[in-house]
Amino acid sequence: MIWIITTISLILLVSTTHGQSMQDEYNLHLQLLNHSNYSKHIRPYIDKTLPTIVNITFDLVSIRELDEILGKLSIVGILWMRWMDPRLAWNPADYGNVIYTKLEMKRIWKPDLIIAHPIEPISAVGFDHYHYPLLVYYNGLAIWSPGDVMTTTCNINVAYYPFDTQICTLTFIQWGSTNMQVALHAVEKEVSTKFFVGNGEWDLIKAYAKEDILENNDYLYPTYNIVIELKRRPAFVVVNVVLPILFMGVLNVLVFVLPPQSGERISYSMTVLLAIAVFLTLVGDNLPKTSEPMSTICYFLLTNLVLSSVIMIVTIINLNIFHRSELRPVPTRLAKLVLIMRCKRSRRNKVQDIEMTEDDVPEIVLKKEKDKLENATDKTQSKKMKWAVHDADELNDVTWQDVSRMFDIIFGLLAFVWLTFSAAAFFGMVSTQSVPGV
């Protein structure tokens, strides 16, 4: 209601304003600040039992920085504060119909708002910016709008990095005043973004304001809170960290495709391992350095490093098996395992040969061969086949090179499954925001 009355009064006065002079405004300043014994140390009030109501709105200009390492949020914003000071009221008719004027902020009472959780030394918002004057209207309405770089602590949760969303609260508290002396009122719940400039790393989801009461040592202090919700833009981290480590993991798995006779397996796997280790050292400076909670991407990178180390160990052992002397017999169990895998491969090849040549083979022959293969899947027939291939001559024909090739197939598949599962688990957890234990 007070804003409507003030607006109507200003329109009426402006429509009749004429003949204002610099001397009129100079006389007004003398009257307000010098002749009326004005003291900036006394808060404005009509009834001392009632608090001075300060109406606040906030303009968010930009997100300057959100530091995960220091847990620091830095923004640029403008605080718009309005309150009534009866000592600054005047009759416009006495001063050439002057309806408003600007006064030095250091000579007028104003709300001294400080950031409740600062990182830098504590100071009131706009206290050192003397170029921010107060705009005062004839009815005692005072408006002050300091703009500043505001920095506060923020509890950063990097569990879902780089798909994380952060919620930070910037809390302003009236320095040295309780809620019985000064009341902070959020006029608008939504923070204004008409001057907002986007950030390359963070996307602003929403920002809103709310007033609250801070209880400390049996005293209640008025607070004004700005809640800012930010979502990280993940493209940079995915392209420069996640995808390179995935490609190096694929290169690591391909070591089992490289022929052992080439003599390059050890150097190849060692090169990939060192590449992953150096890469993790380079990107480590850009990862969140916090342990509570630990970022999921750290576990993902560690998993790939462990996989590379395991592949290196398996490659060394497998090469040792490949170059063993033929005078050393292959254990019976290993030989049977090699023959079973060889039998399965031959059966698959036989099925493929039948399907590829079915146009050239008489139908009755095809039917007999397929019936034989189908009967081989029967339990009894499978047992007979299994024991049939394990005769003494075939077991003696298995060499250490055959055992090494078998291990290449087994460990190659296991490494590929490991890499695929770790990548799927990482993207699944961070995209759905559901990490076990968080």
Which of 45-49, 228-232, 287-291 shows the lowest mean pLDDT across its residues? 287-291
- Please work out, in degrees rounded to the nearest 5, the angle formed at the alpha carbon of residue 394 by the alpha carbons of 389 and 398: 120
Which positions ≥6 away from 1 have C-beta within 8 Å?
Answer: none
d(CA 421, CA 304): 11
213 within domain boundaries: yes
- Supply the pLDDT for residue 395: 66
Average pLDDT over residues 48-65: 91
210 within domain boundaries: yes
Report the CATH number at residue 40: 2.70.170.10
Give just the sign of the alpha carbon dihedral 107, 108, 109, 113.
negative
Which positions ≥6 away from 124 have C-beta within 8 Å?
Answer: 112, 113, 114, 175
Q: pLDDT-based confidence at 367, cuts 50/70/90?
A: low
313 within domain boundaries: yes
Average pLDDT over residues 331-341: 78
- Supply the pLDDT for residue 11: 45
Average pLDDT over residues 164-171: 91
pTM above 0.75, yes or no: no
Q: Do 228 and 181 belong together in one domain?
A: yes
Instruction: Return mean pLDDT, the chain.
Output: 79
Q: pLDDT-based confidence at 387, cuts 50/70/90?
A: very low
Quick check: 322 pLDDT over 80? yes
Which of 182-196, 270-284, 295-309, 342-356 shows the lowest mean pLDDT across its residues? 342-356
Q: Do 177 and 245 belong together in one domain?
A: no
Q: Do 210 and 315 belong together in one domain?
A: no
Which domain does 196 fall in, by range?
Answer: 2-233
378 within domain boundaries: yes
- Supply the pLDDT for residue 27: 83
154 within domain boundaries: yes
HEC per residue, 195-219? CCECCCCEEEEEEEEEEEEEEECCE
Q: Do 300 and 180 belong together in one domain?
A: no
438 within domain boundaries: no
Residue 103 host element (H or E)? strand 100-103
Q: Do 336 and 261 belong together in one domain?
A: yes
The structural domain count of the chain equals 2
Which positions ≥6 away from 62 have C-beta within 8 Å?
Answer: 75, 76, 196, 197, 199
Query: Which residue stretches of 157-295 are H helix?
Result: 235-237, 243-253, 265-284
Quick check: 15 pLDDT over 50? no
Which letter does DSSP use for residue 329 in this model? P
Of all residues in the chain, the percent with pLDDT exceeding 90 is 19
Q: What is the dihedral of CA 127, 128, 129, 133, to 10 degrees?
A: 50
Which positions ≥6 away from 237 have C-beta within 8 Å?
Answer: 161, 162, 297
With beta carbons less than 8 A apart as the criterion, state whether 112 and 224 touch: no
| Residue that terminates a domain, selected from 233, 260, 286 | 233
Q: Do 58 and 143 belong together in one domain?
A: yes
Q: Do 187 and 253 belong together in one domain?
A: no
Quick check: 10 pLDDT over 70? no
Q: Do 260 and 115 belong together in one domain?
A: no
Beta strands in 233-354 (DSSP E): none
In tens, the pLDDT along 227-245 reads 999 999 988 888 888 888 8
Main-chain phi, psi angles of 216, to 5 degrees: -150, 120
Quick check: 363 pLDDT over 60? no
